[in-house]
Chains A and B, each alone.
Chain A
Amino acid sequence: MNKLIFLFLMFILALPPGCEKDAGYPDLISGFWAQEAILEDGTAVEMSTCEQSTRLLIEQNGVYRLYSSCDVLERSGTWIITNETMLDLSMDRWNGSNKYEPYPVRFTIIKLSATELEIRIRTFIGDRKKIVLFTPVAQDNLAGMTPGELLELDRYNKTLRTYIYRFVKHE
């Protein structure tokens, strides 16, 4: 009898801790965020008017919407936090031809509180141009470029950069 009780208690202790939310991150990240700063390799970038206007509406059902004053449309995608340290967003990426297509992008969460969100990504300059992070940028215009210029541009686009995006929550 005592053995059975002991086994039962061990079974209870071995159970996972029930239905806890993932450290409350969905509650923290849900909200209306305004882009406050962009850092490139640790140096603050002077944000354009468009970048200053960037807004991120994150909702707890795993969907977000993205607005910038210079963007032709409001963009949307999905979000999920994994391992409590990664923010995965499906974002628009220029296909190099004629349209944007959904593309998975993973950010490292540096800071997430009730009022601040700071995320980091290390990627190629060329990818930064193609992906709407979080403001669209003009695509390279290759018309009239010499082979040497194209090579130089290609090398530049294959340079890695670390980008940090900082948002503050607006009520």
Chain B
Amino acid sequence: MKAVALKVLTLCILTLVAFSCNKEDPGIADQLIGKWTLTDKTVGNDPVILSDCEKRSTIEFQVNNFCLLYDACTGDTTNSGWNYKYEMLNISVHLPAAYYIEQLDNTDLKVRRNDISPSGDLQVTVLSYSKELK
């Protein structure tokens, strides 16, 4: 009898776990951790020629939802928060704009961002990064 009760209890716990909700994706958040260097940029469908200093600009995602944005052209580093929620990468200093992740693996990150142009059209910017390997 006790063994049966234990089995039922185990099944109940497993069912609760299966039904649990999670709007965040810890897998993607974990893959983002690290320092990424800007390699490519397109606005609309037009490639943007990056300067040498822009190609040395980085974004570093840390495990505590803290990130560092380094602008190699000015030498400034901006502190920011970040999270990945509702399938969007949110970087607090860039809000209200946020990013859709188009590609993410161990070496490459591609994100897409929507903006409204000064003439009122939808403007899509795609940024590509490569990961700095330690």
Contacts and interface: CB of A to CB of B under 8 A. Distances in A.
Contact of B116 (A1, A26, A57, A63): A57
Interface in B1-59: 4-5, 8, 11-12, 15-16, 18-22
Interface in B98-134: 98, 114-116, 120, 122
Nearest to A170: B122
B49 to A, nearest CB: 26
Given A15-B15, A53-B120, A63 B21 contact: no
Contact of B4 (A4, A57, A59, A61): A4
Interface string A9-33: 0011001101100000010000010
A65 B96 contact: yes
Contact of A15 (B19, B21, B88, B90): B19
A74 B85 contact: no
A16 B88 contact: no
Which range contains the number of A residues in contact with the other chain? 20 to 34
A163 to B, nearest CB: 22
A76 interface: yes
A104 interface: no
A18 B114 contact: no
Contact of B19 (A19, A32, A57): A19
A8 B120 contact: no
Given A55-B120, A59-B114, A65-B96, A19 B21 contact: yes
A9 B19 CA distance: 15
Contacts of A74: 116
Interface of B: 4-5, 8, 11-12, 15-16, 18-22, 85-88, 90, 95-98, 114-116, 120, 122
23 contacts: A1-B4, A4-B8, A8-B8, A8-B11, A11-B12, A15-B15, A15-B16, A18-B18, A18-B19, A26-B86, A32-B122, A55-B116, A55-B120, A57-B122, A59-B114, A61-B85, A61-B88, A64-B96, A65-B96, A65-B115, A67-B120, A69-B120, A170-B122
Interface of A: 1, 4-5, 7-8, 11-12, 15-16, 18-19, 26, 32, 53, 55, 57, 59-65, 67, 69, 74, 76, 170
Given A53-B120, A74-B116, 18 more contacts: A4-B4, A4-B5, A4-B8, A7-B8, A11-B15, A15-B15, A18-B21, A19-B19, A19-B20, A32-B114, A57-B116, A57-B122, A59-B88, A60-B88, A61-B85, A61-B86, A65-B96, A67-B120
